[in-house]
Structures are given as structure tokens and as C-alpha cells.
Structure 1
Amino acid sequence: ASVIIYMGHGNGWPSPYTYDPEYTTKDGFGLNATYGNGDYNNKYYGEPYVSTLDLAPGAIILLHHLCYAAGNSEPGDAEPSVSVARKRADNYAAGFLKAGAAAVIADGHSGADPYLRALFTTHQSIEDMWRTMPNKNGNVVSFASTRTPGATVYQDPKTPTSGFYRALTIGSLGVTTDEVVAGGYGDTSLDPSGLVVPGNASVAASGAALYGAPDATASVNATLPVGTRLRAVSQPGGTSAEGTPFVEIRGIDDPSISGYVLATDLVARDSTAPAVRGLDAGGPISPNGDGQGDAATISGRFTETVAWTLQVKGSGGGVKFEATGSGPMFETTWNGKSGGNPVADGSYQVELTGVDSWANPAARATRTLVVDTVAPTLTSLTPGTEETRWFSPNGDGVRDTIDVTATSTESGTLIARVLDAGGSLVKKWSTSTGTSATTVTWDGRNTDGASVTDGVYRIRVVPQDVAGNTGANVERSATVIRALKSVVASKSIFYPHDGDRLAKSSTLSFSLVRPMTVTWTLRNAAGATVLTRLDAVALPTGTSTWSFTGRDSAGALLPRGRYTSVVSATDGTLTATQTTTIDMNAFWIKTSDSTPARGQSITLNVTSAEKLAARPKVFIYQPGLSRWKVRMVKTGTNTYKVTFKLKSGGSKGQVTFKVKGRDIDDGKQSTLAVYAIH
């Protein structure tokens, strides 16, 4: 087999299960043990089993939706560390590489479709194929395999430290899609065990008679020396007196040799045509002398040693470049010129032929090479120049990164640079792009991975197409302010209005990592300021707290509803503002559809401010219908859920959901939520 696809259960190592140094049940296939007993009736066939698979040369293994294979965990389990994820991917590939696989791809989320399409319709390295899949993350790292000497493991997690669902292990350096597809050819230079007609042969011993006809009584026109290379053309049917068949032959090196030879006077020789295992045209190129993509490095591999000829032809068939040589592989460079002058932009045909030493039919392959000297441009970079955005990469999970979104006129790469106020380079990286909008993200770190100081920076984005042409850069400003962090509330919902001992307050807080002047306010749902805790107060480094009881400055309870804690911190030059919301209500209600239809199923998720004595009920008031109710299901300490179908009758208007319950002190409480219904 050249391609093996497995979509099933995976059991790898390291894992929570017992270690087995032989990996008997790990890093292989998890198959149903018996028929008809469910998908989780499994028996695991580990590394010792998969290492005995009968694979064609250059075979590839595609593992989809497995646990462990790409470095990932089982659903619901904790994310692995980087080191554990690397061990898992390395271990899972080991058995398949022992069996002779050239590469192992593990993709926990994508199916096999895009990989199969690329295998059979493109001509590229397996590494490039994997790197350019639609679900690429752009966080590729590689490391030498510990389990398989000489192999290289690649991973592309969702972030540099989490989401390990894409992995590639290459055992055969430089393996290409063509080699996988042509894997069944093997070595085409071998001599067959018996005479092949039509095919090639050589004279077994000096003095072999060359007859004028396939008849032992025919005249002998010549005798052939040992080793004479012949082409066996046909078997006409005549035999010698002893019954040995005649073979019609033609000379390979001496075309004048023609006639019939007894089969016993011949030795079977290589009769299999060579094949092109891979041809990489090396483009697109941009031969404009700027040092970027000025030449194409064209390489190829054959199934045996051949005399090869490579030609690059224009649209009219004229040869723009030619190279020749011999061997099982080659690499040559074309500088994009013909007769000393650069060729015009456009598509060129790369034609490769290879003839083996026995003059079997030639191996042939063609590719397209694009010459492109036009630089791409950025048609947009958002946000615009009128907005200088700030972010706070201090690890609190709020505004830890900043994005700009770029759109280029050509596919290729977006080269991003961050410059400080003095114009010095802080960081440089690149992101693959098509012609649709692509997001470029900066995490506030420099090239060495260290956090930059607070200040104003410029994010410069340059488009570069696949030929290496570089367009004009576009810049946006970004302000780094780490000083303010962790603007939070101890409780996202509390309910002081019933006056009991439960959920009476929520502690609001924030932290400063350096001294700043702070304004701290509370705003209602309309955005109006209802309380001012701090008004331009200079504070030192540290944490500030506010035990908010739901009362205004006069001591009166504020109305039930949603409020926002707003903290602004400034050093006179840089200003950061962060917020967090709190609900003062008995229940927080979220619906799966804010504009439901009559007769539609709907889900309500509810959070209670206080611990309840029993599951709450939802009373439904539909226009034109009598009130009805459903009871909720508990999903957590203070969370509840219910799915129900709205009545199909009544009329459009407003539907009201009233969540009602009793707390553990027997206090009754309720909250209303109103939505348009159609």
C-alpha cells in the first residue's frame, strides 16, 4: 500500500495508562474487537503490529481524529506540556516508520480529503503539502526524532504551547507527493528473473548463432559475442530440434543486428521503463536581480540511473533553457534568462525526460514554472491610521495580544516587523497569506521572547508573493501598556436586594504593576456613571479592592441590572482602561435565540446568585396563551439549563421568561427576561 488512512481510536504514550516498554497496545490502531457491539468495543494493536505492515516504497500514513497521535490528549483531559506533546507525536509515528513509511501525518481535527487531493493533484514535498493545509496554524516547530534516528517531527499547534492537533513525521528526507503515488515502481533497473518479450536481453556466451529465420535449418548469418545487448522483439513460434523457442531480436548498440536467436542463448536484462519519482520546478521566480527568488532550483528523482534532459519552454514551444546529465537524481538552476536576457512574465513548461542504459521507453514529466516580477500590494490594513490601539500583554487574559488584518493582491507571505519609537527592530516574523484578509498578531514580545517595555510601537506589514517580489510596507501604531491588569469581580452575579445573608456583595479589584494615576467608576447598563470609587488618584504598585454591596453613595440600593466596573490608569503619557461586568439580580438568563419563533425549540441557561434549595422553574408567558412552566436541570453549583419547545399557537409580540426559585434560607426570588417572538 502506498497510502494508508486510519480514522479511529488512538492510544499513545505518554498517557494516564500503564507504561509498556514494547508499546503493545499503544501507537497503532484501535479496532472494534467484535462486530456489532458498539464503537467503544476496542482492541488496540500497537507498535509491534503496525511495524509489520506491508508498505510500498515511499508510503504515507494518514491518521485522522485520533487521540495522542498528533500530541493531543483525550477529549476533556488537560492539555499536554510541550515536551509531552512532542513525545506523543514521535512515539506514534515510530512503528509506521519501522514498517518503511516515508512519512506519517496525524491530524486530530481534519479529515483525509484535503490530504488525498493534494497527494494526487499536486507536485510538492510532503512537508510543503502538510504546511499548506487549510487548517494550518502557522506555529510550526520541528525537532529530531528520538525514537527514529534520522527522522524529523513537525508540529503545528494552535498556539505555541497548546492545541497539538497537527503533526508530521518524515522518515525519508525530501519525500514528495510524486514519490508516494509512484511508490509501486520500486527500482526499475533490476533484471527480471525470466526473459521478457518484448524486452531486453544480452548474449549469454560467445558464439550465439544469429539465424535469418526462426528455423533451425535456416542459414546462420553471424555469431554474436557474449554480452551483446539485444532487444527481444517477438516470439514468432519456431523452435530448434530440441524444442527451444526462437526469439526475434534487434541490436541495441548496433542497429544492423537483426534476426533470430535461441532463447537459451539469451540472459534477461532490465526491461522496465524508468519513471519520474518527483519533479520540483522550483518556482515561481522573479528574475529581477533583487536577490529574492531570482532563480529556480529545479530538481528531480528517477526510479533508476538515467541520462536526463531538462528543458524550459515558452508558450510557443521555444526552448529557453536546457540542462543534461546522468544519475538517479539531479538539481539544476535556471536564472530566468534566455540568451542572457530575462524572459517575460508568464507560465513556462518544464519538460523532463530520462532514458536508462537499456534504452527502455523514456521517463517523462512536465511541470509549470511561473515567472512573475510584479510586486504585490496591500489593498487594506485594518484598523486604519486614525486609530492607535493599545494592548496589555501581562498575562491576565485581557487584551494580551494585538491584531492587524491585511489583504494582499497576491498569495504569498506577510512579513511583519515591530519597530520601537527610535526605529529599531524589535521583532520580525512572517505569516502565510492568500488574497483574502489575513490576521497578523503580536504578543508584545521581542525576537528573544522577552516582554517589551511600555510605549508606542509601529507594526509594519510588507506583502511578498511566492515569487519573492516584495511590495510597499504599510504601518500601524500600537501602544503597549502592561501597568493595569486583572480588573475582575469575585462574583459575576450577586443579589443584595432580598436582604438575606446570601450573595450580599461582590469584591471588585484590579492590580498595578507600576505606579499609575487611577480613576475607578461604576456604570449602569445605559453607560451612565452611578458611582465613583477613585477620581485621578495616584496609586503605588499593588492590588486595590472594593467590596461593592450594590448601594449608591447615599447608601440606597441601586436598581437590579447589569453594571460595569471601569478602571482607567495613566502615567501622564500612556492610558489603559479595562472593565468587568457584574449582575445585580437573582438570576442571569441566557437564551439560545434572542428572537425565537412560535413552535421553535429554545434553550435557557441560568446562573443563580444564591445557592438554591431546589431546581428553579421557568414560567413562560406567550402572547395570546395561558402561562405555562418547565423545571430546569442542574448543571453546576449555581447553574441550570432547560430546553423546551415554544407553543405554536398565540400571536407574535413579546415572550416573557420568568425564572423563579427558593434559596437555601427559603427566600423566594425571581428574574424576568423579555424577547420578541414571531
Structure 2
Amino acid sequence: MAARPEVAAATRAHLFAPLVTPTDTDYATQQKTYLTSIAAPTGWDYGRGNASVKIAVVDTGVDVGHPDLVGKVVDQYDTVTDTTDVTDGVGHGTFVAGVAAAATNNAKGIAGVGFNSSIVAVKVADGDGFMSDIDVAEGIRKAADLGAKVINISLGSDTSDTATSSAVAYAQGKGALVVASAGNSGQEGNPKMYPAAYAGVLSVGATDAKGHRAWFSEHGTWVSMAAPGINIRGTTPRALDPALTIWSKPNYDNGNGTSFSAPMVAGAAALLAARAPGATAAQIKAALVSTAHGYTPSYGLGKGQLDVAKAMAAIVPTSSPTVVGLDGTTLVDGTTNLQGTVGTPKALLHWFVDGTLVGTGSPVVWDYAGLPNGSHTVVAKDCTAAGVCPSSGRTSTVTIDIPAVAAVVTPASGTASGSFTVGADFGALPASGAAFVDGVRVGRIGSSNFRTWFEVNASQLSDGSHTVQVGLCDPLGVRCDGVKSAPVTVVTASLHPTHGTVVNPQISPNGDGVKDTLTLPYTLDRTQTVVFKAVNSGGTTVRTVSLGSKPAGSYTFVYDGRNDAGTFSATSSYTLRLETTDGAGLKGLVTVPARIDKVVPTVLVTSAKKRTFYPVADTYKDTWVATYDVNDNATGTAKTTLTVKSSTGTKVRTLTASNSLVSGAVTEGRLTWDGKNTAGALVAAGTYSVSLVVTDTSGQKSVAATDTVTVSRKKLTTFTKVVSKSGFSAYAIGNGAACVTSTRTGSTYASGLWLKNNCPRTNPQIAAAWYHLTVPGAVSYTSFKVTTSGRSHSQPAEVIAGIYGTQIDEYDLTYPSKKVTVATTQTLTLGTITGPGHAPGKVVDLVVFVPNDAYGPLTDWDVQTAKVTVTYRALA
């Protein structure tokens, strides 16, 4: 159609999918605060889940009549009463269920990450909201028995028990992915929370609005990944029991905690399970964990935060595409279009022929010329964009039946001497061919739509009869298993000169004495006259030299790259020929490839100018690395030489590297200097010049690139310093509620600040004081030991401190808290926080605070001083 003169353009029709914006009334708020940060809206473009995929909420129950959950709960069970009554008096489970899979796009409330996924409500709490390990374990087993593909457990204990661990293993054995919240103590690795820390469980920590680790989130090597856990919008019971509930608003409220991070991941897992129904729990977990991003493993939240879209793109679809009109067809023209439609949104169609990938997308122009005639299997698969495919797909069987072309041999009769040519006419076939002599492929002939020829060197054949055929190849001449022509018999009688190994087959005739000429050794089997020819890639002879008659023996010919005009030939590939005759009609032929290179490689040095390094071995900038890029006109190798000279010009070290030229280039080549001279001793401190010279395979050299580098003999040394502030010198104080005060009033000390927290435990608050402490500049900070002096006026009390970490944009806490047991002035060692993620400059941000989650209400600390002992490493 595109070839018709009246058609301006032609393209294959394709389907569009509506990009849904859910109509839920709170969706805009959710999108702004956390759904966009986990790429949930983009992930829904890949698929919106399926009600057949069940998310079990093992928790305090679910309000099944909630307007955003009604119809979503397909199974329910209470393990405490052994009934189906899952009334949620606490509200925790209802909130979790809404985050995971609230009814979405229903013009009310919130959007659940799991969109169309269904819910299995398993209540494991008694009437007062308390849970035992036996009931939780039974709930996990019940969830698995009810067919839950994903089991969310936003509960935890710092103690492992046999009942729960066995239940988790049971659920995993039935194919369920267990997702659990990591906990909210904020303490790295101790205590581990269970079931999150059990083998195979996908444990989820929490991030804040900036994507950094939430201050309360448990973190450590046992935490798999993270999801937002602050200011999460969820469903709450329609009727609230003030004595039990943790919520202040019915129907919908906001909450914090890893309890609400986990169901986001569970909802995403259900979306993946719907997209790839055949995927195992391990595969779903791997897709979620591998696509999380934002952190290094040392951060304690795996690779980082949930990315629904990337996870959906990474899971291997198990759907099968639809294939258009292929099965049972006979193919005769050399190419055909492979067309189909993916079976799931955003999958990428991959086409395999006899197990080999031939293209992606639709349509794909399949060049089948060069494949043998007969039956072939074509398989279309729904794959990820990264090319990961399922084991099966849509299979079609086709038959290739291309007519054979005829081989044309010149001379067509008589005896060939020295060489003969083979050709074929491929007509309109999008193909090329290969010449076969006695069944052995000897060269490529032709390309589509015209006849070309291949010269067969008869001197390399024994004298006598030979069978010649042309086999069909693909257009590039790579695959040549196609139908062969009828055999043609050729009789040869030739001279048989041979050649040895060519010295410098790539030359740079620039007169620098390096690879200016090549040497061609050859041997004659009898007396014959020899003519040398250099033929360019277009078939034109550019140089002819008559070498005269020579008796049998070994000889050499030196070629300087000049043409018949006496000038150097252009940069290109050439064929060097020795054509021989004996005066009696016999001919001989020797051919070898060669290249003339007149192009100087270019070098870009990417190392910083005047780079200072410290070669005293202490792991800090011990070496200087010269990085460089090379561009040349051909493949081969590039030898790079780095020369280091002192300020007086004395050579102190030479380093070399050999890099392969890939498509004529070297990217990010590296040479490393360790600050030592040729004898292996460290050089003196000072400035040194370094130069790079690159020589390519042909001997062309780059112009030297010069840089400078400074060597310092300083080394890292560990220091310790104590810095402190008076209690009242806080730059900011925290009064989060009416029951919290931070004031000098009532302080025992003239310079003191009284942090008093009288809030009930049901209203978590802190009384806090923040201090800027100036510390020495350093290369790295090893640790910060925090102490504070003061007293408690109301016992018992607890005190915690935190050091601001720039890597996490949060405070690392001196957890667990220190308990004050006597009402006297004392010094508390709150704990030690390790670097180097803190204080990259010269200021430490310290917070001292009094929470009320352990001993409140009536807990306090009268701060006399806030002190940090900093251990750091600096150059000296």
C-alpha cells in the first residue's frame, strides 16, 4: 500500500488503552503524597489486577460493610472464635485492607494499590485487640487454605516461635507470597521482627514523603525493601469503639507505620500475579525487590522503595499473544511479515523461529532466505521490555519452499587455471548466496536483485574435477543453509604458489619507521612469472609491479602502500594479489587482505586536571587513574602508553595498556598510577606531568595528551574530639502537644532546659531539643558517642538522642532509650552512632528528646549539657 502513488503513508493499525485516572474522591491526595512516588498510576497502565487474585489480610479484622470494601471481601474467618465474624473493633486490619485493595475508580474514598484484587479477611485478634502466636499462625494457614496468592501480615513480634514459622512455611508451600511489615522501633537489625524476618518473607520497611527512610522504620540486612509509611490514607471502621480503636475518624483517616507500607507492596504483588498468572511467589518477590530503588544495601532497606511500574514491567507475562494468518502457510518469496497482538498490556512481542529470536514487536519483517526448505516452527511470546520471555507462547508451523537458483560458472567449459568465477541470479529474492566447492563454502556471492560474482582461487584446489554449487543465504550472507543449486562440474589445472604469514597486514605509511610497509612471503612450486597487484575494495587495481620470472623457492615482497602514481593510496582495505604464469598456459594465484591507514587516532583524556592523590596505602585516594577515550578508523587494538615525569623532566614511570578497538573506538580506557617509580618506591611529594600516547594496530600514533597530577605524602589519621553545648543553647525546641513542654522554667540548672512529656501513651509525642555542634573537618567520621548530663524530676523517665544523617536525610537514633531511675544529677551515655553518613562539613545536628512510649505519662529530662565525642579520620 505504501508503494502506491496515491498513498501518502501506510502503517499497521494498533490498539490504544484508556489511561485511567481513578474517580475516587481522595485519589488526588493519595497521588500527591505517595501513589505517584511508587509509580502506581503508571503501573496500572500495565494491568489493574483481577478479582481472582486474593490478598489475605491477617489482622484485627475488616469492616466488610465499609463503602470502599463492600464486595471486595470474598472470604472471611476469625481464628479466635472459629466463626466468620471478622468485625474490626481496633480498625488496624480495616486500614490495611483499604491500602492494599480498596475499591478503586468507584467515585468514593480511596484507591487501593491492588485495584481490582479481592480480599480475604482473617481476624486473629480477640475482643480487646490482643493476638497470640497460635491464633496468628492459624490465621496464616487459613489464608493459604482459602487460596490467597498474597498474604499480608502487618503484625510482628521480636520473638520467633515455632507455630508462626511453621505456618509461614505452610503458606509458602502452597504458593503464597507472604508480605510482612518490618516494625517501627527504628533500631537497625535488633530486634528483628517476625514473621518479617523469616526466610522467604518479603519484609517491608517505611519511607517518608521524600523517599528517605522513616525515622521509626526498622532497617537491616533482613529487610527486603520499603514503601511509604507516613501520612497514608486508609479505610477505618464505620463505627469506632473509643476504648479500642487507634483511629479518631470513622470511614477514612491517615496513619503512619510499616503496617501500612506492607499492604502497598502486597497490592503490587497482586497486580503482578494477575499479569503473570503462572508466576511463582519467588518470581513475584524477585520482580518487586529487584526493581525497588533509591538506596544502597547499607541503607538497611534493600535497594529502596517500591516501584509498581518497574515491577510490572519486570514480571514475565504468562499470557499468549494472538498471531495473524501464519499457521500452515507456505513461504516462497524470501520475506514475510510476522504480525500479532500481545495478550497483556505493555508486553513486548518476541518472535522465535526454530528457537532463534528473529525480531520483536509487530509487524516484523522476517528474512527466511538462507533457512533450509521444509517445515519450521514459529513461536510468538509475550515478553518483558528487557527481553525476558516465558517458556511457551503461540506456536505456528510454516513451510519454506524457495526454488533453487542456478549456478553460473566462468569459464563455462574447458579447464580453469588459476581461478574461476561463480555467480547466480537471485531475481527479486531478498537474498544473497554462497559458493560451495566440493560441499565446502568458499565465499559469498551477490546480493538481492542483481548478479555478482565470486572468484574461486583454483591454486588452492587440487588439479582435477570439482563440484560447484550456489546455496541461498540471507541478505547479509550470514545464514547460508538454504536450498542449493544443481551441481556444476569444473575441471582445474593450475600453478600452486602459496603465501606465509604477512608481516604488518595493516600499515601506516607515514615515514615514522613504525609499520610503514608490509612484507608478503610467498613460495613458488616451479619456475613462473610473478606480477604483484593491489586492488581496492571497489575492485580497481591501484598498483601493479612485475616481479619477473623466478625459479621454485621462497621469496618476499615488500609493499610500501603507494599506487601507480607514486603517491600513497587512500585509507581503505585492499586485496594483495600475486598472479603467476608459466608460459605454457597454466596460471597461479595468491590473495591476502591488507589495510592502509593514514588516519591518526584521536584521544580524549577525561581525568581531572591537577588531581591530587595520596599514595600512602590507607585506602584513601591511593591511586591516580588516567581515563581516556580513543576514536580510530578501524578495528584492532590501541596501545596506550602513560609516561610520568617529575617537575625537572626526569622520567619516573611508564605504564602501558592494550585496548580492543570496538567499532573503531575505546571507551573509558584506564591506566592507574600508584605513585611509585620504576623501582617500586613511592615518589616524593610534588607535581608531576603525565602524557598519553596511543598507537593503533597500523602504527599510527596520537598526539600526546598532557596532564598534571599532584602527589601528597599525607595519610589518614584517626582523631577524637569532644564537643558540647549547655542545655539551654538548643537552636530549636519541640512542643508537639499541650501535654509537652520544653522550657527553662523549673530547671535545676542556670543553663538548663527542662524537657517534660506528660502525654498519655495513646498520644505519642516527644519533648525535644536540637543543637548545632561544630566538629573538625574530616575526610570521614567514624562514630559519634552521645552523652548528656542532667536529671529527672519524675521517675521513671527515658531519654534518646539522634545524629542527623545526610545520606538518609533523617536522624539515626541512640536506640534503645536510656532509663532514668534516680532523681539526681547524672551523666547518661545514650549510645554511639556510626558514620560516615553524618557531618560531611563541620556541623553535627544533635537532638535530645524524651518520648512517652515506654514509661509515660510523666517522663522528663532536665538537660544540663548535650555532648558528642566524635571520632574522625583526617589527613596528616
TM-score w.r.t. length of structure 2: 0.25
Greater gyration radius: 2
